[in-house]
Every structure is written in C-alpha cells, then in structure tokens.
C-alpha cells in the first residue's frame, strides 16, 4: 500500500483565518466533501459549511425527520461532531494537535448523512403543481393578465417558474413540491435581486411540515412570499391582491 499516494488525495488550501480540506470522499452529486477550519480561541473550529444537511434537503429528505435527528444526536458520541445552534452546520472543536482528527471526523459525519437519501422512495405525483398552475391561470384571466407556463427565470435558462404572470411587476409562481424545488425558488429570487430585476417571487408548498419547517421558515427570507396551500379560494384571493399592486 502506497500511503503517500493516499495522502496526496487530500488537499489543504490555506486562507488568512485557517483553511479548508478537500477530501477524496464525495457527496451523492459527485462533489468532494470539503471541511473548513477556522481559529477558535487557542484552538480550531472545523465545520462542513452546512453542505451535509443542505444536500440532504436537496435530495428530498427532511433534515428534521426522526431518523436524521436520531443520527445527529449520536454524532457527538460516535465522532465528536455536533450540530451548531442554527441547525445547519456539522462542526467539531479541537486543539492544534488534534486538528487533523477533527477535520476527518466532520468530513465523515457530513458524508454519512447522504445515506438517508437512499431511503427516499419515489412517490407518485400528487397533482399539486398542476392544481396550482390551473388556479393561478384562472385568477389571472379574471383580471385580464396574461400568464405563461414554464418560463426560464435566469440568464442561463436552467431555472424555471411554473407560472409567469405579465403584470406591471411580473409575478413568478413556483409550486414547491420538494425541498429542492423550494431552494430553486430561493435561487430565482436571489438571482433576480442580483440583477436588480423588479419581480415578485411567490412559492407555494402543499405542507410546511412535509417540506420541512426549517426550510419553509427560511424561504420567507429568500422569496417575496412563501405560503402553504390553503385552498383554491385563498390562493385566488392572494393572486388577485398581488396583481392589484
């Protein structure tokens, strides 16, 4: 066994306040597991920058589910790795002499979470998206506003809104059928803000509990509005009220 070759598969990139370690391990999408080390008092704080839980949510797994929470609760005893107070990053603290051990432990913990994505079973479509599109289009017709389906929302034309209403301030409606789709709504909003484009991004979820309460709550900071579907009448009134602006 050539230990030198194995060690070369790890890359340490130094920064002013610490650095980050690129490991040979990978997440489900092929990206390398990377951990970040920063000075913390006389020692170090090492974390995964939230990637483990973020990618888990992107795979359609609720980070607040019972199984995931049970695993997170076991990590301090198994690896000395903790979930931070914000509920986003996996981290460990260590003295300088133990920095390497802590970095590998955080990388292992972050990679382990991807196991739960294999437990996600395909579900039959609920028809939620089609229902939302139909209600929004009808509400637009009633006030004489043109609507378009499946419209590209970014310059690279890789992100799409389910319904685009051609109002004075364009209304972009996204039926967030999964945590990943809700994240796409956030990216659409952030991308429009970056370009200084005047639009209104509305994300609809079927259930905050099913989509993940943390993700649902966060989305209201990164969209103009994210709401649970409360029935056709409530959605029609919401769309009509917005189109009056």
Q: What is the pLDDT of residues 3-17, one digit of tens each?
A: 567 677 889 998 888
**Which pLDDT score, from 0 to 100, does residue 4 have?**
66
Structural domain containing residue 108 = 3-119
Helix (H, G, I), strand (E, B) or coil at 164: strand
Domain end position, chosen among 60, 94, 119 = 119
* pLDDT tens-digit map of 216-234: 998 999 999 999 999 999 9
Number of domains the chain contains:
2
Which regions of the chain are under pLDDT 70? Answer: 1-4, 6, 117-126
Sign for the pseudo-dihedral over CA of 194, 172, 231, 206: negative
For residues 149 and 220, state if they share a domain: yes
Give the pLDDT confidence score for residue 59 in this predicted structure.
Answer: 72
Give the containing element (helix H, strand E) for 176.
Answer: strand 171-176
- Per-residue pLDDT, 3: 58
Is the overall model pTM greater than 0.85, yes or no? no
CATH number at residue 154: 3.40.1350.10
Query: Can you name the residues that pair with 13 across neighbouring β-strands?
Result: 20
pLDDT at 43: 93
Query: What local confidence, expressed as pLDDT, does residue 25 receive?
Result: 85
């Amino acid at each position: 066994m050539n230990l030198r070759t194995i060690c070369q598969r790890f890359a340490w990139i130094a920064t002013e306040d610490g650095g980050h370690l690129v490991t040979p391990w990978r997440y489900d999408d092929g990206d390398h597991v990377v951990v970040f080390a920063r000075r913390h008092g006389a020692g170090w704080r090492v974390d995964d920058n939230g990637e483990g839980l973020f990618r888990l949510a992107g795979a359609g797994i609720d980070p607040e589910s019972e199984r995931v929470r049970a695993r997170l609760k076991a990590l301090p005893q198994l690896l000395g790795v903790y979930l931070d107070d914000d509920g986003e990053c996996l981290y460990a603290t260590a003295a300088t002499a133990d920095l390497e051990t802590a970095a590998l432990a955080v990388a292992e913990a972050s990679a382990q979470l991807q196991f739960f994505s294999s437990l996600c079973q395909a579900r039959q479509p609920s028809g939620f998206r089609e229902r939302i599109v139909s209600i929004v289009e009808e509400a637009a017709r009633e006030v004489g506003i043109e609507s378009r389906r499946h419209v590209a929302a970014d310059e690279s034309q890789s992100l799409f809104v389910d319904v685009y209403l051609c109002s004075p301030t364009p209304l972009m409606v996204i039926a967030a059928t999964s945590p990943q789709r809700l994240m796409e709504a956030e990216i659409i909003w952030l991308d429009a803000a970056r370009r200084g484009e005047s639009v209104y991004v509305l994300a609809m979820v079927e259930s905050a509990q099913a989509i993940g309460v943390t993700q649902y709550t966060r989305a209201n900071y990164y969209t103009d509005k994210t709401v649970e579907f409360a029935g056709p009448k409530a959605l029609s009134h919401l769309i009509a009220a917005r189109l009056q602006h």
